[in-house]
Amino acid sequence: MPKPLVAGNWKMNGTKSSVAEFKAIELGVEPSLLEKVDIMICPPATLLSNMNEHAEYIQLGAQDCHHNESGAHTGDLSAAMLVDGGAGAIIVGHSERRADHNENNDLIMAKADASHNVGAIAIICVGETRNERDSGKAIDIVLSQVKNSTPDNANGKNTILAYEPVWAIGTGLVPTIEDVQAMHFAIRKYLVNRFGDEGINIRILYGGSVKPSNAKELMAIENVNGALVGGASLKADDFLAIAKTYI
Ligand code: PGA
Quote the distance between the C-alpha of residue 95 and its chain's center. 11
Query: 118 falls in which pLDDT band (50, 70, 90)?
Result: very high
pLDDT in tens, 50-103: 999 999 999 999 999 999 999 999 999 999 999 999 999 999 999 999 999 999
Q: Looking at residue 15, what is its pLDDT?
A: 98
Q: Looking at residue 241, what is its pLDDT?
A: 98
Torsion of CA 100, 101, 102, 105, to 10 degrees: -110
Write down the H helix ranges in the chain: 19-28, 31-36, 48-54, 79-84, 95-100, 105-117, 130-134, 138-149, 177-195, 198-201, 212-219, 236-243
Distance from the alpha carbon of residue 123 to the mean position of ligand 1, in angstroms: 14
pLDDT in tens, 3-62: 999 999 999 999 999 999 999 999 999 999 999 999 999 999 999 999 999 999 999 999
- The helix/strand count (H/E) of the chain reads as 12, 8
Q: Are 227 and 238 in contact (CB under 8 A)?
A: no
Q: Looking at residue 174, what is its pLDDT?
A: 97
Cβ(234) to ligand 1 under 6 A? no
Classify 26 as helix, strand or coil: helix
Classify 128 as helix, strand or coil: coil
Cβ(210) to ligand 1 under 6 A? yes
Catalytic-role residue among 67, 94, 116, 184: 94
| DSSP conformation class of 194 | H
pLDDT in tens, 192-246: 999 999 999 999 999 999 999 999 999 999 999 999 999 999 999 999 999 999 9
A 10 A CB-CB count for 200 gives: 14
Q: Looking at residue 189, what is its pLDDT?
A: 98
